[in-house]
Amino acid sequence: MAQQLSTTTEQQIWHLCQRLEFFANHQPLALQKLAASSTNDNYYVHTHRGHYLLRHYASFVEGVCRQQELRCQHAAAAIAVAPAPLCLNNHQRMLVSEFLTHSRHFDWQLHHGELWQLISQLVSLHRLKVQTPVLDAVPYLEQLKSGSKDWLLTEPETEDWQRLLAAAKTFMALPQDIVLCHMDLHSGNMLLQQQKLWLIDFEYCQLADSSFDLAALSINLGMSRSEESKMLLYYLEHREQAADALLEKLNLAKQIYSGFCWLWYRNLPNNEAKAQRARDKLRQLWLPQCDY
């Protein structure tokens, strides 16, 4: 080892790295814990061979195919939409990717001018041909609902669930524009590095209607009606074939996406507050003349 690590945290991170053969013969120079998500911990690892992002997945997460995640990220990296994945170890629940040095998270309030680039990168992702499962919103919602056997719906929750399920059925009956969707687009999964925008975290990437990614951007970036209209205009300039029933699908996709978040967070430990916020967003979308 090149140097004595100075803190207990650094020692713990390097001990984690040493579970992977990928880091054999690497000499650690700098190790740092980054912001964690609900389902994984993230670490910056700098060795004499390069800069890396190490993701360590929580043991309680089920139903995610890491090979699918790796395949989608590889495809996105090949067209410079995502940093390259370098090593996946399912047994250790770890993924190593290139680390984007001197990057910062996308901030809608600061980076409005990057909307065109954001949509261009999204379109590039949507044009990729990757063999993955196709999302059917109805069974996926039912799967999420049944994921927590101890969760008994209250009467208001039951009403919300039934309305959400009806929206999903209506959505799936509309013409579908099936593309490779990221399915988790928010500011934490978009990075700017020297004015170039990158997408990260392909954990839930799969084939789905393009409106789901557009819905996620609209909701998670807090777009106004006019901002959302500009987003759609940019998107359709690249992909005219997505225009069929797009406005109707987008309205329903925002409801379904919020429902996904509500039920998904409801199944995770210690995420009741996030689940409630997602449900509040869902109910807000049902208000008349909602500006979301």
Distance CA(154)–CA(156), nearest Å, equals 6
156-209 confidence digits (pLDDT tens): 999 999 999 999 999 999 999 999 999 999 999 999 999 999 999 999 999 999
Q: Name the residue with higher pLDDT: 268 or 127.
A: 127
Distance CA(1)–CA(15), nearest Å, equals 12
CA 18 distance to own-chain centroid: 28
Residue in 40, 38, 72 with CA at minimum distance from that of residue 55: 40
Return the SS3 of 130: coil
In the prediction, which pLDDT does 39 show?
A: 87
Sign of the CA dihedral 179, 182, 184, 188? negative
Q: Is the model's pLDDT at 289 over the cut of 90?
A: no
Cβ count within 10 A of residue 105 = 15
Find out whether 159 and 286 touch, Cβ atoms under 8 Å. Answer: no
Q: What is the 3-state secondary structure (H, E, C) of 185-225?
A: CCHHHEEEECCEEEECCCCCCEEEECHHHHHHHHHHCCCCH
Find out whether 97 and 55 touch, Cβ atoms under 8 Å. Answer: yes
Which residue's structure tokens are 């680039």? Answer: 117
In the prediction, which pLDDT does 85 show?
A: 98
DSSP secondary structure letter of residue 83: P
In the prediction, which pLDDT does 168 show?
A: 98
Q: Is the model's pLDDT at 104 over the cut of 70?
A: yes
In the prediction, which pLDDT does 6 show?
A: 63
Q: Which of 34-48, 142-156, 190-204, 259-273 has the lowest mean pLDDT?
A: 142-156
Band of the pLDDT at 2, cuts 50, 70, 90? very low
Question: CB-based contacts of 228: which residues, under 8 Å, 6+ apart?
Answer: 218, 250
In the prediction, which pLDDT does 1 show?
A: 36
Q: What domains, with CATH codes, occur in the chain?
A: 8-64+82-99 (3.30.200), 104-285 (3.90.1200.10)
117-141 confidence digits (pLDDT tens): 999 999 999 999 999 999 999 999 9
Cβ count within 10 A of residue 230 = 16
In the predicted model, what is the mean pLDDT of residues 212-220? Answer: 98
pTM (2 decimals)? Answer: 0.93
